[in-house]
Amino acid sequence: MREITYAQAICEAMSEEMRRDPKVFFMGEDVGAYGGAFGVSAGMLNEFGKERVRDTPISEAAIMGAAVGAAMTGMRPIIEIMFSDFISCCFDGLCNQAAKTRYMFGGQTTMPIVVRAPAGSGTGAAGQHSQSPEAWICNMPGLKVVVPSTPYDAKGLIKAAIRDNNAVVVLEQKLLYRTKGDVPEGDYIVPLGEAAIRREGKDVTIVTYGRMVARCLEAAEQAKEAGIDVEVIDLRTLVPLDKHAVIASAMKTGRVMIVHEACKTGGFGGELAAVITESEAFNYMDAPILRICGADVPIPYNPKLEASIVPTTPVILDGIKKVME
């Protein structure tokens, strides 16, 4: 199987869907001639032209509003918010219109919008361009939320999102864009709402997503040297959440760690912990659920400080040992 980057997989997913369906088009800031801030859409303008790959003004509110209108009239827009932090600038269109319109119209209209947004820290982009805002978005009923961790999933999940008749927000951790992985040629989808067991184990369950998946797998391999067998679940989709996979693994191991890059207070990890404690898995727990999360601070510009506020492999390994005590 060929190996391509996460960014190439996303570009391929969008391009294949645009070839398949003339109603699909792409718009955002600098997505055309420039090829996107992270180079994801390089070459798409040459193939599809300015009608289907549209550069927009620097206004997230305008981009989102145009997408809502286009979706209501039968189109299937993909939009890119250059940095996920600025998704807050289009919350009215996203949360009051895209999320609710299908429900409020009794299904008489659909809202097939894909909102792609580079997220997370690690690029030295400082406090206003480095956040992980998934908890904001997951709190809004009517939106689906996807966080791919591999090139294979990036392509398959985005294709599934484009074909969905609801608004889907895809958060792409910026440091993953240059990572490589096996991606088959041709059409395939990864269904929304299905987690992946990246590593099977019997002692501890780690529930994670996005950039943290690789670090959790590294920590799990190191824990093996201490005789600890770790299961790693990659959620892939936060909404809808694969509760069955999480609960089944918690019941299997009796110990759970939740790892994410976003800050701990109000983070999605709290929801995951509640899902477990409110289920039959609670009766199987041999230790309290442990959350390993980002610090509750704005993302620093200084690279050493920036690196210190998100979970690292050694910190995750320490958490594994703690939950086993």
Catalytic residues: 129
- Are the CB atoms for 172 and 28 separated by under 8 Å? no
What distance lies between CA 186 and its chain's CA centroid? 23
| Sheet with strand 230-234: strands edge to edge | 196-199, 230-234, 204-208, 256-263, 290-294
Cα(315)–Cα(126) distance, rounded to whole angstroms? 22
3-class DSSP string for the chain: CCEEEHHHHHHHHHHHHHHHCCCEEEEECCCCCCCCCCCCCCCHHHHHCCCCEEECCCCHHHHHHHHHHHHHCCCEEEEECCCHHHHHHHHHHHHHHHCCHHHHCCCCCCCCCEEEEEECCCCCCCCCCCCCCHHHHHCCCCCEEECCCCHHHHHHHHHHHHHCCCCEEEEEEHHHCCCEEECCCCCCCCCCCCCEEEECCCCEEEEECCCHHHHHHHHHHHHHCCCCCEEEEECCEEECCCHHHHHHHHHHHCCEEEEEEEECCCCHHHHHHHHHHCCHHHHHCCCCCEEEEECCCCCCCCHHHHHHCCCCHHHHHHHHHHHCC
